[in-house]
Amino acid sequence: MADLQWAPGSAGSVPDGAVEVDGAYVGRAHHDQGVIVGPVVCAESCCMIGYCGEQFNKDEYEVLLEPTDGRRLRWEPCDGSNMPEGAVEAGYLCSGHKLYVTRAKKDDKFIIGHMNTTHCVCCIPYQGASCDCTDFQVLVVYSV
């Protein structure tokens, strides 16, 4: 299966076909020798990432695009210990651990985040910090 497509963005811009979640877009940005997943929020003009207890706002980032090769995306429940087949790998930590695209609900709204199989929680940026969530979903790509 081919990799998913990512497009560059900056200062809150997103390309046509970007994957949207509750008014934000699935993004990723370079940080601390890794590539960390988080929401691109146009009103904030950045990609927000939660990392090591803090929130970092990145002016330059990449945005995930909807597949154009017949595959589809869907969200599936995950507890971190049983990664669904087709989970979207989208980044990595400085340690080399892979990061997957996740989302968790806060204040009745889904927030995009990431998880690695070592920690088994979804890390989201939330109110200026990073928040670890145990109830979350992972983004999965599948063929129709």
Segment 87-99 mean pLDDT: 95
The Cα 70–Cα 48 span in angstroms is 30
Residue 90: pLDDT above 90?
yes
**Does pLDDT of 2 surpass 70?**
no
Which two structure tokens, joined as six digits, stand for 70? 């017949």
Could you tell me if 39 and 103 are in contact, meaning their C-beta atoms sit under 8 angstroms apart? no
pLDDT, average across residues 9-36 = 96
Bridge partners of residue 61, in order along the sequence:
9
Extents of the domains making up the chain: 6-143
Give pTM, 2 decimals: 0.94
The total of other beta-carbon atoms located within 10 Å of residue 35's CB is: 20
User: Average pLDDT over the chain, rounded to whole?
Assistant: 94
Confidence at 3, pLDDT banded by 50, 70, 90: confident
Predicted local distance difference test score (pLDDT) of residue 31: 98
Query: What stretches of 1-135 adopt beta strand conformation (E)?
Result: 6-10, 20-21, 24-31, 34-41, 46-51, 54-58, 60-64, 71-78, 89-92, 98-106, 109-115, 122-126, 129-133
Mean pLDDT, residues 17-26: 96
Give the position of tokens 């993004």: 27
**Model confidence over 115-144: pLDDT tens digits?**
988 888 999 999 999 999 999 999 999 988
Phi/psi for 31 (5° steps) reads -160, 130
Over residues 1-20, mean pLDDT? 89
CA distances from residue 101 to 43, 50, 117, 142 in whole angstroms, order as listed: 21, 13, 12, 14
SS3 of residue 10 by DSSP:
strand
Rounded CA gap, 25 and 62, in Å?
10
Residue 19 has pLDDT above 80, yes or no: yes
